[in-house]
Each structure stands twice: as C-alpha cells, then as structure tokens.
Amino acid sequence: MNASGYRKLGRTTPQRKALLRNQVTNLLYHGKIKTTETRAKEVRRIAEKLITLAVKEKDNFEEVEVMVKVPKKDSNGKRVKEVVNGKKVTVYDEVKKTIKKDKPSRMNARRKMLSILYPVTEVPKDGKKVRSLSKEVDMVAKLFDEIAPKYVDRKGGYTRIIKLGMRKGDGAPEVIIELV
C-alpha cells in the first residue's frame, strides 16, 4: 500500500477521479457493477461515504407552502395565450404548492454528493425518439429517497464485493460490487 492513503490505479489524477466518479454513479444507479478488485475497493470508499451522508441527512428538511405561478392549459394541454398590448402572453394561475426545503446541513450534503456524482440521463430502451423521451435522473434525490431509507438501521457496510476470478485478457482479478 502506498503512503498516500489511496490507490493510484495507474492513471493521472483527472483520469482517476473521472473513472471513480463514473463507477460510483453507476453503482448507485444500477445497484451493482462489474470491475477489477482494486477499483472496486476504491469505489467502495466513496460510495459508502455518500450513503452515510444520505442516511444522516435523510429527514433534515422542512415542508414549506409556497405560491407558484403555473401556466393555464386548455383541453389539449397547450398553454392558453391572450393578447395584451398587441403581444401574445401566456396566462398564469396562482397555485399553492408544498415543497421540501433543505436545512443548511442537508444542502451542504447535497452539494458534496453533486460534486462526486455525474448527471444520469435515462434513455428509452427501443432507441426511438431518444431526445424527446430521455429524462434526467436526480441521483441525489434517489440517494435520499430510495437508497438511504434501506440503510437506516445499518452502521456502515452498505456494499458487498463478490470475487469472480481472473479476467481473460490480462489476468486482472474481477469482482462484482453491489449495494447490500
């Protein structure tokens, strides 16, 4: 083990950071990934910290009622326009909405997570209308709402590494790392 406290993985710093961020994002999105053993051990360190953060700050928000302007829509789902001073202007309704407002520590946790996780775009399986049907996945919300509640009673150890044997090409030990 080198003295610096982490594995270099034979890469420059930006490459290594990008690789680990990508693998952590994929692990949290898919639930498990297949990779080499040394990478898995590094990915585990980062993923466990993120999950711990999510578990700690899971309920640290307040519900707030706010007035929101929502565009009025007709029966076809199109926005209703009206002419004001010769211009077409969208008509808005005022609606009461309840939103989750993060407390400062949860906001800080959210920002820490966003500094590690990459944005994930969900693309439709059939490959048709990819642009219009693909949607952004809010990974931080997924961490807070789906992953953290599973691990409330656990004190760490949120991932499991299963050894698969050697890779055919270069003989690197391969593993599956998954969320427990």
Decide yes or no: CATH 3.90.1030.10 for domain 1-58+105-180. yes
Task: Between 71 and 162, name the one with better pLDDT.
Answer: 162
Task: Between 133 and 108, name the one with better pLDDT.
Answer: 108
What does the pLDDT read at residue 133? 80
What is the DSSP secondary-structure string of the chain? --TTSS--TTS-HHHHHHHHHHHHHHHHHHSEEEEEHHHHHHHHHHHHHHHHHHHHHTT-EEEEEEEEEEE-B-TTSPBPEEEETTEEEE-EEEEEEEEEEE-HHHHHHHHHHHHHSPPEEE--TT-SSHHHH-EEE-HHHHIIIIIHHHTTT--S--EEEEEEEE-TTT-PEEEEEEE-
- pLDDT (tens digit per residue) in 39-90: 999 999 999 999 999 999 999 999 999 998 888 888 888 888 888 888 888 8
What does the pLDDT read at residue 4? 72
- pLDDT (tens digit per residue) in 91-126: 888 889 898 899 999 999 999 999 999 999 988 887
Q: Per-residue pLDDT for 155 more than 60?
A: yes
Structural domain boundaries in the chain: 1-58+105-180, 61-102
Q: Per-residue pLDDT for 2 more than 70?
A: no
What does the pLDDT read at residue 91? 85
